[in-house]
């Protein structure tokens, strides 16, 4: 069914607002979308540039009751749904970068930030934050610290954000349903087929530490499998970041 939506003109962060609504008794599932964020959050403590009226700032809040299996690989599955929504909008060469960046020609077009509360082994809530650069053309002072693009820049024309949200909702329903029934294992090969850095030489950074290896793929929990000097190592965790070597 359709998720109830709250559309806000301005908020600090749709993820933060979702947490506040949960804390004051709101019952998932629900969706919060804003026209502008004043303190948009990215992964690894970064901020997410969120100008008014141009992009999508979207948080879907769900209740998880199926234990760890329903959390494992969840952010990668959201990535697959978002990949298809962006393809449906006409961007053919969009791909995934582990764990959940969406890139077009090496430039980031969308990102995902999952926030969990409660006990993952029992009942918990997950806030699925999705930011998509839809119509953004320039950023004052170019404060984004990584190469970026927008769907509009790729297509060369203005994109209807309402239609994009409809497509994203449909794709998320489809992929979350599959993940809920069969877990990440059944979606793993599809994820790998869309992984831009499959087989590539990379370095994986966790804070000041880093490991160099070759990408083998992901495992059934969504963790990254790297060949490090001929030995397979598996890495998971939201604080990791991948670079090409
Ligand atoms: C990333 O670093 O790639 C994740 C970016 C996630 C941004 C979205 S925008 C909607 C939601 N609210 C936030 O504050 N962050 C996420």
CATH of the domain at 108: 3.30.930.10
Q: Which residues of 127-136 are buried (b: 16+ CB within 10 A; e: fewer)?
A: bbbbbbbbbb
Q: Tell me the average pLDDT across 208-227.
A: 96
Domain boundary residue, one of 193, 213, 235? 193
Residue pLDDT, tens place only, 3-25 = 999 999 999 999 999 999 999 99
Domain limits at 225?
Answer: 201-244
112 and 232 housed in the same domain: no
* Atom 2 (ligand 1) nearest CA: 42
Q: Report the candidate in 103, 132, 74, 150 with the shortest Cα–Cα distance to residue 244.
A: 103
What CA–CA distances, in Å, run from 1 to 12, 28, 117, 188, 219?
28, 13, 24, 26, 31
| Region for residue 156 given its phi and psi (left: phi exceeds 0; alpha: psi -120 to 50; beta: otherwise) | left
Q: Residue 1's pLDDT is what?
A: 60
121 and 211 housed in the same domain: no
Q: Relative to the CA of 43, which ligand 1 atom is closest? A: 2
126 and 55 housed in the same domain: yes
**ipTM summary value:** 0.99
213 and 186 housed in the same domain: no
Q: Residue 7's pLDDT is what?
A: 98
* Atom 15 (ligand 1) nearest CA: 41
33 and 83 housed in the same domain: yes
Domain boundary residue, one of 160, 177, 193? 193
Q: pTM for the whole thing?
A: 0.96
Residue pLDDT, tens place only, 76-118 = 999 999 999 999 999 999 999 999 999 999 999 999 999 998 8
Answer whether 59 contacts ligand 1 (Cβ < 6 A). yes
69 and 116 housed in the same domain: yes
Measured in angstroms, how far is the CA atom of residue 128 from the centroid of ligand 1? 9
Answer whether 99 contacts ligand 1 (Cβ < 6 A). no
Token reading at 174: 């489809």
Measured in angstroms, how far is the CA atom of residue 79 from the centroid of ligand 1? 13
Question: Is the pLDDT at 68 greater than 90, yes or no?
Answer: no
Ligand 1 pocket mutation pick from 16, 18, 35, 40 by most atoms within 8 angstroms of CB? 40
Residues 129 and 15 sit within 8 Å (Cβ to Cβ)? yes
Q: What is the CATH number of the domain that holds 236?
A: 2.30.30.100
24 and 97 housed in the same domain: yes
223 and 169 housed in the same domain: no
Q: Relative to the CA of 110, which ligand 1 atom is closest? A: 3
Count Cβ atoms within 10 A of the Cβ of residue 29 and give its class: 0-12 exposed, 13-18 middle, 19 or more buried: middle
115 and 47 housed in the same domain: yes
Residues 102 and 108 sit within 8 Å (Cβ to Cβ)? yes
Q: Relative to the CA of 15, which ligand 1 atom is closest? A: 12
Domain boundary residue, one of 153, 170, 193? 193
Helix intervals (H) in the chain: 14-23, 74-88, 151-155, 161-182, 188-193
Give, as one character, the DSSP assignment of residue 207: T
Q: Tell me the average pLDDT across 26-51.
A: 96
Number of domains into which the chain is organized:
2
Answer whether 164 contacts ligand 1 (Cβ < 6 A). no
210 and 186 housed in the same domain: no
**What does the alpha-carbon distance between residue 7 and residue 180 come to, in Å, rounded to a whole number?**
27
**What does the alpha-carbon distance between residue 216 and residue 17 come to, in Å, rounded to a whole number?**
38
Collapsing DSSP to helix, strand or coil, 80 comes out as: helix
* Atom 11 (ligand 1) nearest CA: 129
Answer whether 13 contacts ligand 1 (Cβ < 6 A). yes
Question: Is the pLDDT at 238 greater than 80, yes or no?
Answer: no
Q: Relative to the CA of 37, which ligand 1 atom is closest? A: 14
105 and 224 housed in the same domain: no
Measured in angstroms, how far is the CA atom of residue 104 from the centroid of ligand 1? 18
Please spell the DSSP secondary structure of 100-142, one letter per residue.
Answer: TEEEETTEEEEEEEEEEEE-TTSSEEEEEEEEE-SS----GGG
* Helix 74-88, helix 161-182: angle, nearest 10: 140
180 and 210 housed in the same domain: no
Measured in angstroms, how far is the CA atom of residue 228 from the centroid of ligand 1? 31
| Region for residue 222 given its phi and psi (left: phi exceeds 0; alpha: psi -120 to 50; beta: otherwise) | left
């Amino acid at each position: 069914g359709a998720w109830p939506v709250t559309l806000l003109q301005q908020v600090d962060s749709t993820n933060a607002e979702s947490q506040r609504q949960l804390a004051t008794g709101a019952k998932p599932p629900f969706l919060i979308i804003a026209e502008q964020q004043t303190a948009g959050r990215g992964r690894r403590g970064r901020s997410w540039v969120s100008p008014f009226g141009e992009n999508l700032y979207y948080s879907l809040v769900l209740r998880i009751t199926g234990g760890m299996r329903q959390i494992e690989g969840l952010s990668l599955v959201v990535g697959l749904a978002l990949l298809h929504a962006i393809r449906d909008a006409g961007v053919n060469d969009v791909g995934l970068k582990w764990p959940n960046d969406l890139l077009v020609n090496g430039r980031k077009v969308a990102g995902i930030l999952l926030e969990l509360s409660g006990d993952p082994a029992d009942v918990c809530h997950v806030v699925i934050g999705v930011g998509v650069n839809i119509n953004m053309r320039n950023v004052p002072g170019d404060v984004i610290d990584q190469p970026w693009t927008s769907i509009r820049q790729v297509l060369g024309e203005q994109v209807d954000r309402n239609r994009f949200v409809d497509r994203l909702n449909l794709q998320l329903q489809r992929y979350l349903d599959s993940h809920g029934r069969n877990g990440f294992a059944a979606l793993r090969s599809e994820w790998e087929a869309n992984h831009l850095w499959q087989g590539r030489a990379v370095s994986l950074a966790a804070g000041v530490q880093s490991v160099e290896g070759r990408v083998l793929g992901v495992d059934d929990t969504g963790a990254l499998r790297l060949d490090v000097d001929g030995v397979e190592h598996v890495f998971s965790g939201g604080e990791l970041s991948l670079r090409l070597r």
